[in-house]
Chain A
Amino acid sequence: MRVALFLTCVNDTLYPDTGRAVVKLLTRLGVDVDFPMGQTCCGQAHYNTGYRHEAEPLARKFSDVFREYEAIVTPSGSCGAMVRELYPRMGERARAEGRGDGLARTLAPVVPKTYELTEFLVDVLGVTDVGAYYPHKVTYHPTCHGLRSLGLGERPRRLLQAVKGLELVELPGADECCGFGGTFAVKNPDVSAAMGADKVRNAESTGAEVLCAADNSCLMHLGGTMTRLRTDLRPVHIAEILASTEEEPLV
């Protein structure tokens, strides 16, 4: 199976460890992973801030770079949702504006082949026990786009529950937004910070050492809040936990 890693621009630039974890994990599970160097950004920040026309060339580029692969895997619920939910909508809008079917036809091939990492593991590879070892107390935050746009459901929790040594504790108010929201965090800083602080305090109340999520953007906001609030919690992407083994543990 020829699988492309769509790492996302945020992970590429700020969280290469997550990228290496995905490669390690998928390789361990027998998947041949490629990283097309032409990839950049899915255009979500442009689209959601109101610059749909700036997002369109990025969506076209995404399709050019990834269309030949059998599957496209991304460690981000949010960017995955951009491709799966919003690319078709971009095509529809272009059609409604009298610009023809071109955009819809260009984007259509990549839409059904794009999977968020936990979806790919559970639905495509059919595994929940990925042979991971992570002896820590962990609480899981299901990020909004993973939860509501992609409908990841119990997949991430099932994967975490199968990790050896891991104690999974329920996060109070788990399905409430952490307050990141892309440019929302900058445009509405007070509300965003208040939401982030509440999320961190809820996570702290579980006694967990690690707050895990499938989106580094949310974790960036929460991690920045954690150090500011001086908690002992650590933000860790689910890919890094799933990649951790007894031989090569994640520190």
Chain B
Amino acid sequence: MSGTFVGMPAFPEAAHEAVHNTTLRGNLRHATHTIRAKRANAVAEVSDWAALREAGKQIKDHTLRHLDRYLVQLEESVTAAGGTVHWAADADEANRIVTYLVKATGESEVVKVKSMATQEIGLNEALEAEGIRAYETDLAELIVQLGNDRPSHILVPAIHRNRGEIRDIFAREMSEWGRPAPEGLTDTPAELAEAARLHLREKFLRAKVGVSGANFMVAETGTLVVVESEGNGRMCLTLPETLISVVGIEKIVPTWRDLEVFLQTLPRSSTAERMNPYTSTWTGTTDDDGPQTFHLVLIDNGRTDTLADEVGRQALRCIRCSACLNVCPVYERAGGHAYGSVYPGPIGAILSPQLRGTGSEIDSSLPYASSLCGACYEVCPVAIDIPEVLVHLRERVAQGGPVTERGGKVVLKPAKGHAAERAAMRAARWAFSHPGALRAGQRLASRTRRFHPRTLPGPGRAWSASRDLPALPPEPFRDWWQRTNGGRTDGGREGTK
């Protein structure tokens, strides 16, 4: 994935700052709670939501099961429609291909429609290194790019910014990238939108090359689909002479008919809209209309390895709606940056450690970045059981085990720093397997309760830093049960109340 995130600290450290940043917490809380309520209403309007959710899950599972077949069909359809398909095994290869394609046009600027895939591979940085400037045209992406910032949400990359911050970024940075912000710009939404419109319009009219992602690719016709709210994406897709679409291989649906399901579930889950304001579809090239050259770069970048994992593969069903982020109490407090990836929130916590492996500090901490409350699973429109995958990945981190890396089976060792925990878990299992030992421990704890410290050493310190420990009772329940014969006698001693 993008070099931007290399060397990220583990999630708990990264989240520490966000939790104590009151502006950020306020921005996130306001935004996620607003969209959360709207989504619930938009979903409640549809009487067959459960059936749509199941259908989306089934279509995606079917497609993933036969991905090899559908990818070949897609390549044939795209080629027949006048496009060219390129295959990229990883981020470097994808970046090399796109850079080569842009250079071949002789241009040194491209306009981009918001694309997770190009962020995942770090395309903008790769192009920059080759002297090509990529302009983000999605409003939120523009804010992030101008702010020299990183996206913190799948759908609303600038969710962590408020209007005042955006005004300051526009006023300070727009002139560096093109048309400056108007004098005396205020933070009213209309003025901010107009400033962005004027700034971007110049880019659209000048650009000869567009770079896009896609929400879906239809195998039977070779059609690509982008859904968006602003129309900036459609400008990128239709105005340039050359269009390069960079898409993950899992984004296929077999037929147009399958789109029907997702064009209902995606907008309601993401923006709480009944339908996207703009749904653009393009198939190869058409004489005298739209781009005259079309390239499709299909990226793997860890996806077939993920597909090889029986439990984890369901993450590839994801349609990037971000409902799981908006409902997640952990995301709401930690913010998107703490996840160290373009895929934050619950879906990021299961996607990143699979696409990138669990080798780094951040990736091995992500499966634990959840309280397993299950809200993400409940809202997911393709029914990804995120808690199940989190626990599965925790096992991989804590215990090691077989995984697929670059197509080959390897056996991972447990991640560092879990030895004490492993020993504690084993000891607890032993004690719980021997009720007598458990009871002796309980009694010892109860009898020494007057000497228990208010704060704990070691890992327990994290608990007692912000919460008091419960006081131990004078006797465990099982002793009371035995002493009183299940409360039938008073046992000759005062109760513990």
Give A residues with C-beta under 8 Å from B.
Answer: 7, 9, 11-17, 19-20, 23-24, 27, 33-35, 37-41, 43, 45-55, 57-58, 61, 89, 96, 144-145, 148-149, 175-177, 179-197, 220-221, 223-225, 227-228, 251
In this complex, what residue of B is CB-closest to A55? Answer: B429
**A/B interface sample: 21 pairs, CB < 8 A:** A13-B477, A15-B473, A17-B497, A19-B477, A20-B477, A34-B486, A45-B425, A48-B372, A48-B394, A49-B394, A52-B391, A53-B399, A54-B425, A181-B371, A184-B371, A184-B372, A188-B12, A188-B330, A188-B368, A197-B466, A227-B468
Q: Tell me if A12 and B478 are in contact (CB < 8 A).
A: yes
Give, as a whole number of angstroms, the nearest-CB distance from B215 to chain A. 28
Indicate if B433 sits at the interface (CB-CB under 8 A): yes
Q: Which of B19, B393, B426, B473 contacts A17 (CB 8 A)?
A: B473
Give, as a whole number of angstroms, the nearest-CB distance from B497 to chain A. 7
In the complex, chain B residues whose CB is within 8 Å of the CB of A13: 442, 445, 472, 476-477
Q: Tell me if B433 and A177 are in contact (CB < 8 A).
A: no
Q: Which of B371, B442, B462, B470 contacts A220 (CB 8 A)?
A: B470
Q: Which of B395, B396, B432, B466 contacts A228 (CB 8 A)?
A: B466
Cα distance, A33 to B484, chains bound together (Å):
14
In the complex, chain A residues whose CB is within 8 Å of the CB of B100: none
Cα distance, A23 to B477, chains bound together (Å):
11
Give, as a whole number of angstroms, the nearest-CB distance from B454 to chain A. 11
Q: Tell me if A193 and B466 are in contact (CB < 8 A).
A: yes
Q: Which of A58, A185, A195 contacts B429 (CB 8 A)?
A: A58
Q: Tell me if B333 and A191 are in contact (CB < 8 A).
A: yes
In this complex, what residue of B is CB-closest to A56? Answer: B429
In this complex, what residue of B is CB-closest to A57? Answer: B433
Q: Tell me if A186 and B480 are in contact (CB < 8 A).
A: no
Q: Tell me if A39 and B435 are in contact (CB < 8 A).
A: yes
Q: Which of A17, A33, A53 contacts B486 (CB 8 A)?
A: A33
Indicate if B494 sits at the interface (CB-CB under 8 A): no
Q: Tell me if A189 and B463 are in contact (CB < 8 A).
A: yes
* Supplied contacts A13-B442, A48-B394, A148-B374, 10 more A-B pairs, CB within 8 Å: A9-B432, A12-B476, A20-B477, A27-B487, A39-B435, A58-B432, A188-B330, A189-B463, A224-B470, A225-B467
Q: Tell me if B12 and A54 are in contact (CB < 8 A).
A: no
Give, as a whole number of angstroms, the nearest-CB distance from A136 to chain B. 17
Indicate if B475 sits at the interface (CB-CB under 8 A): yes
Cα distance, A144 to B460, chains bound together (Å):
23
Q: Tell me if B16 and A40 are in contact (CB < 8 A).
A: no
Cα distance, A56 to B486, chains bound together (Å):
29
- The 6 A-B residue pairs whose C-beta atoms are closest, nearest first, are A181-B371, A50-B394, A224-B467, A177-B373, A189-B462, A193-B466
- With A50-B367, A54-B426 known to touch, is A41 a contact of B432 (CB < 8 Å)? yes
In the complex, chain A residues whose CB is within 8 Å of the CB of B375: 144, 148, 175-177
In the complex, chain B residues whose CB is within 8 Å of the CB of A224: 463, 467-470
Cα distance, A228 to B463, chains bound together (Å):
12
Q: Tally B residues with Cβ within 8 Å of A.
A: 69
Q: Tell me if B478 and A58 are in contact (CB < 8 A).
A: no
Indicate if B246 sits at the interface (CB-CB under 8 A): no
The interface centre, meaning the residue of B388, B393, B470 with most chain A CB atoms within 10 A of its CB, is B470
In the complex, chain B residues whose CB is within 8 Å of the CB of A33: 486
Q: Tell me if A195 and B371 are in contact (CB < 8 A).
A: yes
Cα distance, A147 to B375, chains bound together (Å):
10
Cα distance, A48 to B377, chains bound together (Å):
16
Q: What 1/0 mask marks residues of chain B from 357 to 378 whose CB sits below 8 Å from any chain A CB?
A: 0000000000111111111011
Give, as a whole number of angstroms, the nearest-CB distance from A215 to chain B. 12
Q: Tell me if A181 and B433 are in contact (CB < 8 A).
A: no
Indicate if B421 sits at the interface (CB-CB under 8 A): yes
Tell me which residues from 307 to 350 in chain B have a Cβ below 8 Å from any Cβ of chain A. 310, 329-330, 333-334
In this complex, what residue of A is CB-closest to B460? Answer: A186
In the complex, chain B residues whose CB is within 8 Å of the CB of A186: 459-460, 462-463
- With A27-B487, A190-B16, A191-B333 known to touch, is A45 a contact of B428 (CB < 8 Å)? yes
In the complex, chain A residues whose CB is within 8 Å of the CB of B422: 51
- With A16-B473, A17-B497, A49-B398 known to touch, is A180 a contact of B15 (CB < 8 Å)? no
In the complex, chain B residues whose CB is within 8 Å of the CB of A185: 462-463, 467
Indicate if B448 sits at the interface (CB-CB under 8 A): no
Give, as a whole number of angstroms, the nearest-CB distance from A232 to chain B. 15
The interface centre, meaning the residue of A19, A188, A190 with most chain B CB atoms within 10 A of its CB, is A188
Cα distance, A89 to B369, chains bound together (Å):
22
Q: What 1/0 mask marks residues of chain B from 224 to 245 whose CB sits below 8 Å from any chain A CB?
A: 0000000000000000000000
Indicate if B190 sits at the interface (CB-CB under 8 A): no
Cα distance, A182 to B391, chains bound together (Å):
13
